[in-house]
Structure 1
Amino acid sequence: MQNFLVEGRPPWYDSTGSTKEQLIIGIAGGSGSGKTTVSTAVIQNVGLEWVSKVELDSFYRGLTPEESANVANYNFDHPAAFDWDLLIETMHKLKAGKNVSIPIYDFKTHSRSKHNKYVYGADVIIVEGIFVLYDERLRDLLDIKLFVDTAQDICLARRLKRDIAERGRNVNSVLNQYERFVKPAFEDFISPTKQFADIIIPRGADNLVAINLVASHVRNQLKARGWDPVHHNVLESLPDNVHQIKQNSQVRSIETVLRDRTTKRDDFIFNTERLVRLVIEDALNYLVFNDKRVVTPVDSPYQGLMFQNKICGVSIMRAGDAMMKGFQAVLKDPIMGTVLIHSDRKSGPRLFFHRLPQDVSDYTVVLLDPTLGSGNTLIMAIRVLLDHGFREENIIFVCLIACKVGLSNVLCRHKIHIVTAMIDDDLDQNGLIVPGIGHFGDRYFGTEEVESEN
């Protein structure tokens, strides 16, 4: 099994269901000017939830043997030190909604690591680095161009602290490099690119007036593209592609057991598996069926139905594994796949592993995860499936409980079917659904008890 790229497209929708291109922001400035701090401040100020960041430093060329032997005289602060063709190709792919493989540069060995990191298209893409406004090809891809203008003595102090702590340098080598390369590069190549900036930010993230101005500009740009980051998480009514199973007495009694904080683990597992079967059986109603004529054992014709597509189940590990048994009990010998995504409220979702079948364009995929909270993990999982070749209209997400915030977060980007048993209104400060069922993975797998004993 392998991952491969398919034709990309913008990864989110506006409120009318039309696809929209993502917003690309470029942040330039001298070394140590505070570009990363500015990007973080803008993200927090606007309230952006789905951001991909690309750092120019990742695109340093690997040094030749001759350059490595004379590394003390190599100018890392010159435009020629970067692989511009690879950067431009990468940005075009992200703009098209594709995933990309970004090099990891080792500043201690001055070479690219054997491992790469994968980045997926997002609502907003931020590319930052000293020469972000230098190359015209990159400038043409940017919707908003920022330049962080910080006093050079402050930049030098920050560079000293960073290079000594993170890059294995000593004070003399940092100062020598600054005088020979960094300062001349700023004067000759970086500072002149201010002319291309839409907004110049003096003093970096300390300039709250400028940060608020940038945040307002970003909001306006997003609204012009049909997405309002302030109000998009309001779900007043369930759209046609969100399906809640019938809340009869049997279902309500199972849900009550799962919501009860005093429920023992074995009872929680038993009732989870009951509800999983019910939800998956209901989800199969949203597959595409074809007419099929058969003859019964009494030699009588019968006009029935059969699934049109092949079916694949994909678990979002680890909690999704709790639903695989129920899925396999409903469908005979289904093809299974897995994705492992870690998500937290500070860094967002990150893909660690995936195992998916090949040649999947004619498959319907049933994506399994017991809970839908903020929706960020599901959005990442959908992006992985799309890049692997699954068609969006063939994706059905099945969960036991969903939050309206997460539903809206997903549905403003992707047109998929979502089938659930419970729908709650909100998330608490820890990202758990309220009133909810608590932390599903801990309750199902028993890790809550282990942690309390340690």
Structure 2
Amino acid sequence: MAPENNENPSFKNQRYMPPWREPYLIGIAGCSGSGKTSIASAIIKQLNVPWTVLMSMDNFYKPLNDDQRKLAFDSKWDFDSPDSFDLDLLLEVLHDLKQGKKVQIPTYSFKDHNRTGKWINIYGANVIILEGIYALYDPRVLELMDIKIFVDTDFDICLARRLHRDILHRGRELDLSIQQWDKFVKPNFHKYVKGTMNNADVLVPRGLDNVIAINMLSTQIRRQLHKKSEQHMSDLLLLGSGRNGFDKNSIALLCQSPQVKAMHTILLDNSSTRDDFIFYFDRLAGLLISRALDELTSYQPKKVVTPGNLVVEGISLPYNDLCAITIIRGGECFNRALRTAVPTIRLGKILIQSDATTGEPALHTLSLPPCISPTKPGDADGTRRPVLLVDAQMSSGAAATMATAILIDHGVREEDIMVITYLASELALNRFTSAFPKTTVVVGKTHKEVLPRFIDARYFGTAD
């Protein structure tokens, strides 16, 4: 059914941008042993921001062949020239992270002088700190950075730290480490690295000992993150602001039969026992899931033979690869009903909590089943692969909006997402359908007011 014409044209096609779509990227460069990693760790500790990622350029060393590895074991391979790094891969990873995509970065073993074959998955980073001798070298990488830092530490101190690290943590011999320093590290620093301090926004003398500089950096970064957080909250609150309410034809509302209304009454009654609450919520959850499954378009004709040898025309249940994502912890109220309706369903979970100081919703936990993958958005013949996203209650709509953005980032098409919720405010539905108009929303009951969340607390017995 065509949507009602109740929108301000200037607010059509509003899109939601989660905070990790434009993470704050910090670059820290300096001589080997200058204290780049220590400064990065100090900044991370002071910021205390969830999903802060520290990336080392060491992970982007190019893999070596057998002859090159032999030279490396004899400290005759140059690890300190720009050509030793896969700068194109680094740029690709940073570019994808700045767009909020999930990325994989390789890991490198200095004991084996090669990549390990293992990959580190990164997604949802609010802050990314890239540290390495060539962090400020590539102009393409510099364009992506929000702040650029160069650590300027005395050369003798750098040498002492380098020897300590190589001998104790990388299994090197003293004479070979000194040979590598004199032959490669020192010449390359003067030839390539030292000049990159001109690309820096901030120069930090004395490395980690410069407490004042580190404190000032952390304060400045925290201030910029706060502005970014305020902008995100403002954008979130503006969703649907130009509409005269949500289009009721855009949601699938559970049939409000007398029996359903009676169950609503029990769930909303504060005097109902917890046993009654769980029993009737499970019943309604089952009805909601059945209503959502009716929206599937992949039912196929099927002929069966009855016990009396009659051939009957029917249809098959399209449950192959069906998965559901629960928004912790309200969505977990649906787990029993999901397992009852589809025993083979694959479950994942997402935890989104609001920041105590800014109120900004933030991603804390993400566990997706294998059926959700950027490489499996749908079957080869174009068959839809639906994903159920469940939460007991939509009050402001922020959690469902962020969770939907996460699924889309992981290759799920917007039109393949079905949000299932028992209780939803009209404000939440207005915001959500404004951000994701192609997503199916199945609702048990709507209400004009924004009610505090209470379903999960009553269901799990944690209500006051």
Fold match by TM threshold 0.5: yes
**Aligned counterparts of 1:418 and 1:193: Cα–Cα separation in 2:** 55
Aligned residues of 1:273 and 1:323 also touching (Cα < 8 A): no
Please name the residue that 2:307 is paired with: none
The reply to whether residue 329 of structure 1 matches residue 314 of structure 2 is: no
- 1:342 CA drift (Å): 11
RMSD: 5.4
Pairing of 1:53-64 with structure 2 (within 5 A): 53-64=54-65
- 1:196 CA drift (Å): 0.2
2:324 to 295, 314, 322: 314
Please name the residue that 1:137 is paired with: 140
Q: Give the aligned residue type for 1:116.
A: W
The reply to whether residue 91 of structure 1 matches residue 87 of structure 2 is: no
Please tell me whether Structure 1 or Structure 2 has the larger radius of gyration of its CA atoms: 2
Please name the residue that 2:230 is paired with: 228
SS in 2 for 1:355: coil
The reply to whether residue 355 of structure 1 matches residue 371 of structure 2 is: yes
**Aligned counterparts of 2:170 and 2:421: Cα–Cα separation in 1:** 45
Aligned residues of 2:321 and 2:346 also touching (Cα < 8 A): no
Please name the residue that 1:294 is paired with: none
How many residues get paired? 376
- 1:127 CA drift (Å): 1.8
* TM-score, structure 2 as length reference: 0.61
Pairing of 1:259-298 with structure 2 (within 5 A): 275-279=281-285, 281=287
The reply to whether residue 110 of structure 1 matches residue 113 of structure 2 is: yes
**Aligned counterparts of 1:139 and 1:197: Cα–Cα separation in 2:** 9
Structure 1 157/395 Cα, relative in aligned 2: closer, same or farther at 3 Å? farther
Query: What is the percent sequence identity of the aligned residues?
Result: 33
Please name the residue that 1:168 is paired with: 171
Structure 1: unaligned runs, 5 residues or longer: 1-9, 258-266, 291-309, 402-406, 426-432, 440-454
Please name the residue that 2:184 is paired with: 181
Aligned residues of 2:327 and 2:389 also touching (Cα < 8 A): no
**Aligned counterparts of 2:422 and 2:162: Cα–Cα separation in 1:** 50
Please name the residue that 1:452 is paired with: none
Q: Give the aligned residue type for 1:385.
A: L
Please name the residue that 1:31 is paired with: 32
Structure 1 115/183 Cα, relative in aligned 2: closer, same or farther at 3 Å? same
Structure 1 349/201 Cα, relative in aligned 2: closer, same or farther at 3 Å? farther
Please name the residue that 1:51 is paired with: 52
Structure 1 247/182 Cα, relative in aligned 2: closer, same or farther at 3 Å? farther
Structure 1 173/228 Cα, relative in aligned 2: closer, same or farther at 3 Å? farther
SS in 1 for 2:91: helix
SS in 2 for 1:178: helix
Q: Give the aligned residue type for 1:203.
A: R
**Aligned counterparts of 1:126 and 1:418: Cα–Cα separation in 2:** 41
Q: Deviations over 1:268-302 (max 9, x none)?
A: xx976764554565588899979xxxxxxxxxxxx
Q: Deviations over 1:401-441 (max 9, x none)?
A: 9xxxxx9xxx9xx979799999569xxxxxxx9999699xx
SS in 2 for 1:227: helix
Aligned residues of 1:339 and 1:354 also touching (Cα < 8 A): no
SS in 1 for 2:97: helix
* Larger mean Cα displacement after TM superposition, 151-160 or 310-319: 310-319
**Aligned counterparts of 1:147 and 1:438: Cα–Cα separation in 2:** 53
Structure 1 137/247 Cα, relative in aligned 2: closer, same or farther at 3 Å? same
Structure 2: unaligned runs, 5 residues or longer: 1-14, 247-252, 254-260, 297-319, 356-362, 446-450
* TM-score, structure 1 as length reference: 0.62
- 1:133 CA drift (Å): 0.6
SS in 2 for 1:42: helix
Aligned residues of 1:311 and 1:365 also touching (Cα < 8 A): no
- 1:161 CA drift (Å): 3.5
Aligned residues of 2:35 and 2:151 also touching (Cα < 8 A): yes
Pairing of 1:375-390 with structure 2 (within 5 A): 385-390=407-412
* Larger mean Cα displacement after TM superposition, 280-289 or 82-91: 280-289
Aligned residues of 1:313 and 1:327 also touching (Cα < 8 A): no
Please name the residue that 2:250 is paired with: none
1:208 to 206, 211, 229: 211
Q: Give the aligned residue type for 2:49.
A: L
- 1:145 CA drift (Å): 1.0
2:388 to 366, 387, 394: 366
Structure 1 394/51 Cα, relative in aligned 2: closer, same or farther at 3 Å? farther
**Aligned counterparts of 1:217 and 1:86: Cα–Cα separation in 2:** 30
Structure 1 359/353 Cα, relative in aligned 2: closer, same or farther at 3 Å? closer
Structure 1 45/282 Cα, relative in aligned 2: closer, same or farther at 3 Å? farther
